[in-house]
């Protein structure tokens, strides 16, 4: 009979749990599905990196947090571009409607 793998003995080394995976998932979803999640990934990624630098969270999540933060920035840019295109299209539709009505 084999024994199950042991858990790390010192689990209290970092007082806060890592949110790097959450940041990465939000960043991926912010680029691929819903750009509204981009700013959340960006802000959470910044906070996660600050917490890692302060020693409150494990440093193993740095690359995931940074990747999620970068994806959050990209998602935020896509959101801004989408809003600009939407506003331009709306204004064009209003102008076109005004030419036919007036």
Domains of the chain by residue range: 20-101
| Residues of the chain under the 50 pLDDT cut | none
Determine contact, residues 27/10, Cβ cutoff 8 Å: no
Closest by Cα among 70, 68, 60 to 23: 68
Which pLDDT belongs to residue 4?
A: 63
Which pLDDT belongs to residue 85?
A: 97
Residue 76 to residues 2, 27, 65, Cα–Cα distance (Å):
49, 10, 16
pTM of the model: 0.80
């Amino acid at each position: 009979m084999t024994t199950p793998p042991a858990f790390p003995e010192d689990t209290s080394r970092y007082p806060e749990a890592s949110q790097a995976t959450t940041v990465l998932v939000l960043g991926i979803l912010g680029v691929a599905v819903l750009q509204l999640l981009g700013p959340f990934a960006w802000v959470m990624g910044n906070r996660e990196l600050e917490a890692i630098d302060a020693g409150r969270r494990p440093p193993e999540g740095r690359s995931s947090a940074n990747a999620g933060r970068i994806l959050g920035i990209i998602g935020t840019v896509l959101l801004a571009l989408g809003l600009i295109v939407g506003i331009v299209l709306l204004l064009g539709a209003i102008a076109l409607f005004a030419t036919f009505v007036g």
